[in-house]
Copies of this chain bind each other. A is one copy, B any other.
Amino acid sequence: MVFRAVVVDVDGTITFSDRSIDCRAVEALRSLDVPVVIATGNVLCFARAVSILLGTTGIVIAENGGVVECGRVEYDTSHVERCEKAFSYLLGHFPVEKLDHYENRKTEIALRRDFDVEKARDILSGFSDIEVVDTGFAVHIKSRKINKATGLTRLSGLMGIDVKDFVAMGDSSNDIEMLEVSGFGVAVGNAHPALKAVADMVTEGEHGAGVAEAVRELKGTGKIK
């Protein structure tokens, strides 16, 4: 099996835990001949900036799969109203603060990570179609029907590359579905145990060192170019 593309999470995977870019990941991803797709829980504008700065393809997944861009931009806004309802309900129980005051998050809601997420999940347990995801960088109120795997599936259609031809790399629980749907899943050394459990490869190195290690290994075994 020779994989034809890579999809990679941003925060914690190609960055350090303070969100600053790990240049070891930058250099490793630039060494690849195949397209490198950015997949983030952040907004489209951030995903685009990362893609530009990495020097990759400009093909991105944002908002945990709700937004994809490959030539054109596609949004799945069908569940955002439901997210707003859950947000309003949660706000009735304790103060939460929306992020993205100056950006335009379109398909889900992101909150500042300064409250008890377990308690929020309890409060929202009646919203069976909604999940509260803690990426370690923000807390997302999102539809269970949207995740990085649904985004990757949509994007792979636009790219004309099967999802199984992707290597996926990540660190967080919101990367689980993406690793599962891809052809080969890499969890970096600092990844959440639940992500490591579904990965085909768990690197020894953390953050960018893990990405570089996976790229080296996959190139060395001829699994990617």
Contact = CB atoms under 8 A, between A and B. Distances in A.
Interface residues of A, number: 25
A55 B18 CA distance: 7
Interface string A5-27: 00000000001101111010011
Nearest to A42: B49
Contacts of A2: none
Contacts of A46: 45, 48-49
Copies of this chain present in the complex amount to: 2
Given A20-B52, A21-B55, A49-B50, 20 more contacts: A15-B53, A16-B55, A19-B52, A19-B53, A19-B55, A20-B30, A20-B53, A20-B54, A20-B55, A21-B54, A23-B23, A23-B26, A43-B45, A45-B45, A45-B49, A45-B102, A45-B103, A46-B48, A103-B103, A104-B104
30 contacts: A15-B53, A19-B53, A19-B55, A20-B30, A20-B52, A20-B53, A20-B54, A20-B55, A21-B21, A21-B26, A21-B53, A21-B54, A21-B55, A23-B23, A23-B26, A43-B45, A44-B102, A45-B45, A45-B46, A45-B49, A45-B102, A45-B103, A46-B48, A49-B49, A49-B50, A49-B53, A53-B53, A73-B102, A103-B104, A104-B104
